[in-house]
Amino acid sequence: MKTSQFFLHTFRESPADAQIISHQLMIRSGMIYPTYSGIYSWMPLGLRVFSKIEAIIAAEQDKIGCNRILMPTIQPASLWIESGRYDCYGKEMLRFKDRHERDMLYGPTHEEVITDIARYFIKSYKQLPVIFYQISSKFRDEIRPRFGVMRGREFCMKDGYSFDIDQEGAQNSYKKIFFSYLRTFKTMGLTVIPVRANTGAIGGNLSHEFHVVAQTGESEIFYDAAYDSVDPAALTFEELEQIYTAADERHDPATCGVPAERIVKSMGIEVGHIFYFGTKYSKSMNFSVIGKDGAPFPPEMGSYGIGVSRLVAAIIEANNDKDGIIWPDAVAPFKIAIITTNQQDTRGAALAESLYSKLLAANVDVLLDDRNERAGVKFSDIDLIGIPYQIIIGTKAVEYGQFELKIRRTNIRQDLSFDEVLNKFSAGG
Ligand code: 5CA
């Protein structure tokens, strides 16, 4: 992609209501546009990051055998009346009537819709276990939408739902998802802490939230300092459960059993939340399957969420400096930006064009900044939008064949030849 074609619009200032750095940087880099309070449009730069995050999540879900589907955003109230949640869900649910005066809603979550699907397709224990997931828009009429896409009203979630024969099966599905989430977040360059949580409106008795530790997080989390020195992916679920972690509403210093001086308290951004709730929905919605013994039974269920749009902001909170965003490679909108310092210099422009087409041919995600702007403007824009690697093509490149590589995160600069640049990045380095 070339900046001469790419719809890149950066701003020097951020609006007064943008209180946290990720919100400010997302607006300043033109990643999102606030269409309405808590409702955002994703612009080309933002959508590239969003899509990479979505693809990482989907790849990991597929790898562990989850089935991707797509459910409607608009749901009939009747399903929620069946499950018993219609009256208790409260004002967060956007309710309206269709032209036939039937009660409808914009889905804040999909337990009812998936249970209705499952009871149509699944008749026998032989069809279990199965896990479905989707990546789609949700609407929650949050009382205080804020921090941009961090707490939106319309937002994107990966929501997954498991169906199992018995408790043991359901807990295995839960654990499988638990560890897949650790891998998913790691691939995005994020460190997360899974904490024991309450189940709230979803219901059930086993639940974990996944938190990115950040000053600007909205939730308080508590955990045993011992957690800081473990690699959760290297432990079993049972071993991990031995180390105390808790979401705010679950933490009780009197009963937690960990000496106060060992308890770490920090702010966290909740990027994922998983629930095991047994037969809550299968029972209330009359979903049962025929068991081995010929008798019908309600399957055991769990649900598993990742905040896809929130993740974009969370990654920025964890990766920025005074000049802007610093994307981890895996989610960067472009891996490399080629910057000509003087686009009028046809020799430099030709070198840039040639490097650009060779990198493109090698399948590298590259942005060519071929704008007729001052070098300083280009440098600050490319820093702001967080491209991990910058190749600067100025007089040194034209005169001596020296292409300056700047690494955004470390600010380390290095002169490379044309072929060295090509080899370094074509090999996936
Ligand atoms: N049905 C379950 C799991 S599929 C569920 O809805 N869980 S949830 O309510 O915890 O939401 C899952 C994830 O969506 C949260 O962990 C959070 O990362 C994200 N999320 C929730 N509300 C918002 C919001 N208003 N804006 C952005 N992301 C949100």
User: How do residues 383-402 score in pLDDT, each as one tens digit?
Assistant: 999 999 999 999 999 999 99
For residue 290, the CA-to-ligand 1 centroid distance in Å is 33
Does the C-beta of 202 come closer than 6 Å to ligand 1?
yes
Q: Name the domain boundary from 280, 298, 321.
A: 321
Mean pLDDT of the chain: 96
Which strand (E) or helix (H) includes residue 219? strand 219-224
Has residue 224 been placed in a domain?
Answer: yes
- Ligand 1 atom with the smallest distance to the CA of 142 is 25
Q: Are residues 26 and 76 in the same domain?
A: yes
Q: Report how far residue 124's alpha carbon sits from residue 165's, in angstroms, rounded to the nearest whole number.
A: 10
Please write down the HEC assignment for all residues of 269-303: EEEEEEEEEECHHHHHCCCCEECCCCCEECCEEEE
- Residue 312 Cα to ligand 1 midpoint, Å, equals 14
Phi, psi of 321 (to 5 degrees): -145, -170
d(C-alpha 177, C-alpha 195), whole Å: 15
pLDDT at 91 > cutoff 70: yes
What contacts 307, CB < 8 A, 6 or more positions away?
155, 156, 157, 270, 271, 272, 314
Ligand 1 pocket check for 158: Cβ under 6 Å: no
CATH of the domain at 403: 3.40.50.800
16 is a domain residue: no
Of the residues 91, 273, 311, 317, which should be mutated to test ligand 1's pocket, given the most ligand atoms within 8 Å of the CB? 273
CATH number for the domain that contains residue 43 = 3.30.930.10
**Cα R_g (the chain), whole angstroms:** 24
Domain presence at residue 6: no
Q: For the residues 193-205, what does the mean pLDDT come to? A: 81
- Residue with CA closest to ligand 1 atom 16: 272
- Taken in order 178, 182, 187, 192, the sign of the CA dihedral is positive
Considering the domain architecture, whether residues 340 and 305 belong to the same structural domain is answered as no
Its pTM surpasses 0.85: yes
What pLDDT is stored for residue 428 in this prediction? 59
pLDDT at 367: 98
Compute the distance from residue 305 Cα to the ligand 1 centre, in Å: 6
Domain-embedded: residue 1: no
Q: Is there a single domain that holds both residue 313 and residue 343?
A: no
Number of other residues whose CB lies within 10 A of the CB of residue 186: 17
Closest approach atom of ligand 1 to CA 311: 18
Residue 93 Cα, ligand 1 centroid: separation in angstroms? 13
Q: Are residues 270 and 368 in the same domain?
A: no
CB contact burial 95-131 (16+ within 10 A = b; e otherwise): eeeeeeeeebbbbbbbbbbbbbbbbeebeebeebbbb
**Buried (b) or exposed (e) across 271-310, using 16+ Cβ within 10 A?**
bbbbbbbbbbbbbbbebbbeeeeeeebbbbbbbbbbbbbb
Q: Which of 157, 161, 269, 317 to mutate to test the pocket of ligand 1 (most atoms within 8 A of CB)?
A: 157
Q: Determine whether the shortest distance from the Cβ of 280 to ligand 1 is under 6 A.
A: no
Mean of pLDDT values over 311-340 = 98
| C-alpha to C-alpha distances, 70 to 114, 133, 184, 215, 364, nearest whole angstrom | 10, 8, 20, 35, 30
Q: Is the residue at 286 inside a domain? A: yes
Do 224 and 354 fall within a single domain? Answer: no
What domain range includes position 356? 334-426
C-alpha 242 chain-centroid distance: 28
Asked whether 116 lines ligand 1 (CB < 6 A), one says no
- Provide the pLDDT for residue 124: 98
Residues 174 and 79 in one domain: yes
Q: Is the CB of 155 under 6 A from ligand 1?
A: yes
Contact 207, 199 (CB under 8 A): yes
Sheet of 103-106: strand order equals 74-76, 103-106, 94-97
291 occurs within a structural domain: yes
Task: Please report which confidence band the pLDDT of residue 205 belongs to, taking 50, 70 and 90 as the band edges.
Answer: confident
If asked whether residues 301 and 372 sit together in one domain, one would say no
Total domains in the fold of the chain: 2
pLDDT range class, residue 198, cuts 50, 70, 90 = confident
The pLDDT-based confidence of 200 (bands split at 50, 70, 90) is confident
Ligand 1 atom closest to 269 (CA): 18
Claim to verify: residue 314 and residue 363 sit in the same structural domain = no
d(C-alpha 140, C-alpha 269), whole Å: 18
Same domain, 361 and 385: yes
Q: Is it the case that residue 429 has pLDDT exceeding 60?
A: no
Judge if 309 and 416 occupy the same domain: no
**Within-domain flag for 161:** yes
On whether residue 328 sits in a domain, the answer given is: no
Listed in sequence order, the residues at least 6 apart from 409 whose beta carbon sits closer than 8 Å to its beta carbon are 326, 388
